[in-house]
Amino acid sequence: MLFLLSIGIGISGFMFIEENYTFIDAFYMTVITIATVGFTEVHPLSDAGRLFTSFYIVINLGIFALFASVLTTYLFEGELREILNNYNSIRKVNKMKDHVIVCGFGRNGIRACEELQKNNIPFVVVEQDPELLKELAPSEIVYIEGDATHDEILKTAGVERAQALITTLPKDADSVFVTLTARQMNTGINIVARANETSAESKLIRAGANRLVRPDLIGGTYMANLITKPGVVEFLDMISGTGELKLEEFSFEDMKENFREKSIMDLDIRKKSGATIMAFKAGEKRSFMINPHPSTKITNGDVMIVLGTEDQIKSFANYYTTKKLML
* Residue range 233-257, pLDDT digits in tens: 888 888 775 667 888 999 999 999 9
Q: What amino acid is encoded at 33 in this protein?
A: T
pLDDT digits (tens, 9 = 90+) for 309-322: 989 999 999 999 99
Question: Between 2.30.110.10, 1.10.287.70, 3.30.470.10, 3.30.460.80, what CATH number should domain 2-76 receive?
Answer: 1.10.287.70
Q: Give the residue, 232 or 164, on which the prediction is more confident.
A: 164
- Give which of 223, 75, 111, 103 is closest to 169, Cα–Cα: 103
Cβ count near 82 (within 10 Å): 16
Distance of CA 283 to the CA centre of its chain: 32
Residue 187 belongs to what H/E stretch? none
Which of the four pLDDT bands, split at 50, 70 and 90, describes residue 39? low
DSSP 259: G
Average confidence score pLDDT of the chain: 86
The type of residue at 255 is M
| Distance, CA of 130 to CA of 132 (rounded, Å) | 6
Per-residue pLDDT, averaged over 193-197, amounts to: 92
pLDDT reported for residue 78:
57
Name the strand (E) or helix (H) holding 209: none
E strands, 119-273, in order: 123-127, 143-145, 164-167, 190-194, 211-213, 245-251
pLDDT at 238: 81
Distance from C-alpha of 287 to C-alpha of 283, rounded to nearest angstrom: 8
* Helix orientation angle between 23-35 and 47-76, rounded to the nearest 10 degrees: 50
DSSP 253: G
> What does the domain layout of the chain look like in residue ranges?
2-76, 96-218, 230-320
- Which residues sit opposite 192 in a β-bridge? 166, 211
Residue 54: pLDDT band (50, 70, 90) is confident
Give the model confidence (pLDDT) of 96-119 as tens digits: 999 999 999 999 999 999 989 988
Residue 82 has a pLDDT of 65
Cα–Cα dist 42/25, whole Å: 7
Q: Which residues share a beta bridge with 127?
A: 145
- Strands (E) across 152-275 are located at 164-167, 190-194, 211-213, 245-251
Mean pLDDT in residue range 288-310: 91
What class, spelled out in words, does domain 230-320 have in CATH?
Answer: alpha beta
Residues of the chain with pLDDT > 90, as a percent, come to: 50
Classify residue 166 by its DSSP letter: E
C-alpha to C-alpha distance for 90 and 102, rounded to whole angstroms: 15
Among 192, 143, 189, 124, CA closest to 163: 189
Rounded CA separation 87/143 (Å): 10
* 80, pLDDT greater than 80: no
Q: Is the pLDDT of residue 296 over 80?
A: yes
DSSP 21-43: --HHHHHHHHHHHHHT--PPPSS
Which of 16-20, 141-145, 231-235 has the least mean pLDDT? 16-20
- Is the pLDDT higher at 87 or at 305? 305
For 10-19, the pLDDT digits (tens) are 788 778 788 7
User: According to the CATH classification, is domain 96-218 in 3.40.50.720?
Assistant: yes
Average pLDDT over residues 116-145: 87
Question: What is the pLDDT averaged over residues 164-193?
Answer: 95
Q: Does 214 score more than 80 pLDDT?
A: yes
pLDDT of residue 70: 73
What is the arithmetic mean of pLDDT over 125-142? 85
Sheet with 303-309: list strands edge to edge. Answer: 245-251, 303-309, 276-281, 289-290
- What is the DSSP code (8-state) at residue 268? T
Arithmetic mean of pLDDT, 49-61: 79
pTM above 0.85, yes or no: no
How many CB atoms neighbour CB 68 within 10 A?
A: 10
| Residue predicted with more confidence, 152 or 21 | 152
Residue 326: is its pLDDT beyond 70? no
pLDDT tier at 24, thresholds 50, 70, 90: confident
Dmax over Cα atoms in the chain, in whole Å?
A: 107
pLDDT value at residue 241: 59
Beta carbons of 237 and 243 less than 8 angstroms apart: yes
